[in-house]
Structure 1
Amino acid sequence: MTEVVIMGAKGRMGDTLVRCTQQSDDLKLAGVLERAGCEGGLDALGCVCGTSPEEVLTKVPGAVVVDFTSPSVTLKLLETASITGNPVVIGTTGMTSEELEQVEEYAKKVPVFLAPNMSVGVNVLLKILPELVRMLGPAYDMEMTEIHHNKKVDSPSGTALKLAQCMAEARGLVYDEVKKHARDGIIGARTKDEIGVLAVRGGDVVGDHTAYFLGPGERIEVTHRAHSRETFAQGALRAARWLSGQKPGKLYSMADIF
């Protein structure tokens, strides 16, 4: 039985994670956290409740923490977990390169798993897209679009960035040198190597991502659509089960599970 702690338990992802954990035969909801002022009603879940990692993690040694919050909250969590020894599964997106470096440092002290998208389908795309890049060759321009609900705070999505990065690397490019996250005005013709990523926001879309390969006389579109947050929740809980048996020393990802 793997014990799990859910960060942001009353949020969109947190609520889904709590429900999926409670419905699982091999997981136990050991604790939940929510920011101060929003924690009302959590005691009804029958587990350890609190508003700070220090308050909760010391009471649930060994429990795996699942976190889909914000970069600053995630780093604070890792600071505490590195002391208490609780493994951490991170689905938080929008981190800077400096923040990701901090995550990697914490992974040397405690087991840490990081994935911008926990769905099996997206992680299969990360394997397939580089092969498409190599087979199609440089004559095909590469672009990416992503659509998310109107409450999403980061842009482009972490998933879009990860997919575009793997495409760039497959062509021997450095993503930060070729990315185009905005186009406006008289910008001139598209350069040979640039990769545009367009973010669309609206409604309650869970997450759509489309990779485009636009070549002479044809184009290929590869699309992944998430129909429910349960897709991500089940992937994160699968990671929690796996991470509970791992040791610190590296930053783990979905590739390690596969």
Structure 2
Amino acid sequence: MTNIILNGCNGKMGQTISSIISKFEDLNIVAGIDKNLESKFGYPIFQDIASVNIQYDVLLDFSRPDALESLIDYSIKNSKPLILCTTGYTPEQLKYIEYSSKKIPIFRSANMSMGVNVVSQILKAVTPLLYEDFDIEIIEKHHNEKVDAPSGTALLLADSIRSSIKEDTKIVNGRSGSSKRNHNDIGIHAIRGGNIVGDHETIFAGSGEIIEITHKALSREVFAFGALKACKFIKDKTPGLYDMSNMIKLNI
């Protein structure tokens, strides 16, 4: 059995995870952390991580970037793995995550969907074949309460594309003005509205043909399933920085 502490347990994703964990016979949430102390799923909830005094195996975070330091400190103190599902980290925070992964196993992904990460690997495979003759743009759509733009997933897909191109490329967020597009631009466009869970479309636009690779999240459950699979994956790992590519291996 893998016992989980869930940070951000009363947020939208926290509640989704709590509602589906019963589908995993070998996973259990032993405690939650949230400013809202209303216990909806039977496990105890603490207002901050320093107050938690329950034995656990994995700390799973779906909260905000400003919680990072306390989560890492707690995980190092207890020599336990940490899964970070939050987006919007600063470059300094990303460096701190990498540094801390030398002491404990840390799993970080901008998107916990298995499907998105399959798309990421597909992009790594096809981009070198298309880049010379195609312009590349990414369009992402999310609900009107999402606080960061572009989305972490859009940046994940852009990084997958850029890592497979030998030429230096440049991310362009949105587009305005009168200058034409440069071929080495990787455009990212963010749309916010309604209750869109998460749509990501990568467009390869060539002369006379267009290739579109699209992922649409129809429910937050896709992220919850991926996060819980990551809990099983990371439990007995040695210190290091892990992501979904370590769980998903495609021979392409």
Equivalence for 1:224: 215
Equivalence for 1:76: 70
5+ residue gaps, structure 1: none
Equivalence for 1:133: 127
Q: Indicate yes or no: 2:174 matched with 1:182.
A: yes
Report how many aligned residue pairs link the two structures: 248
Aligned partner of 1:159 among 153, 163, 167: 153
Query: Residues of 1 paired with 2:69 and 2:195: CA distance?
Result: 28
Helix, strand or coil: the match of 1:19? helix
Equivalences for residues 74-153 of structure 1 within 5 A: 74-153=68-147
Shift of 1:82: 1.1
Equivalence for 1:46: 42
Helix, strand or coil: the match of 1:183? coil
Shift of 1:236: 0.3
Shift of 1:174: 4.6
* TM-score w.r.t. length of structure 2: 0.94
Contact 1:6 1:67 survives alignment (8 Å)? yes
Query: Residues of 2 paired with 1:46 and 1:211: CA distance?
Result: 41
Query: Residues of 1 paired with 2:10 and 2:16: CA distance?
Result: 9
CA displacement 1:186-217 (0-9 Å, x = unmatched): 2x110120111000001111100000101111
Distance 1:198 1:137, change over 3 A: closer
Equivalence for 1:29: 29
Tell me the percent identity. 36
Equivalence for 1:59: 54
5+ residue gaps, structure 2: none
Query: Residues of 1 paired with 2:108 and 2:229: CA distance?
Result: 13
Query: Residues of 2 paired with 1:70 and 1:105: CA distance?
Result: 20
Shift of 1:125: 1.1
Aligned partner of 1:205 among 196, 201, 205: 196
Helix, strand or coil: the match of 2:211? strand
Q: Indicate yes or no: 2:4 matched with 1:4.
A: yes
Query: Residues of 2 paired with 1:24 and 1:10: CA distance?
Result: 20
Aligned partner of 1:243 among 225, 234, 239: 234
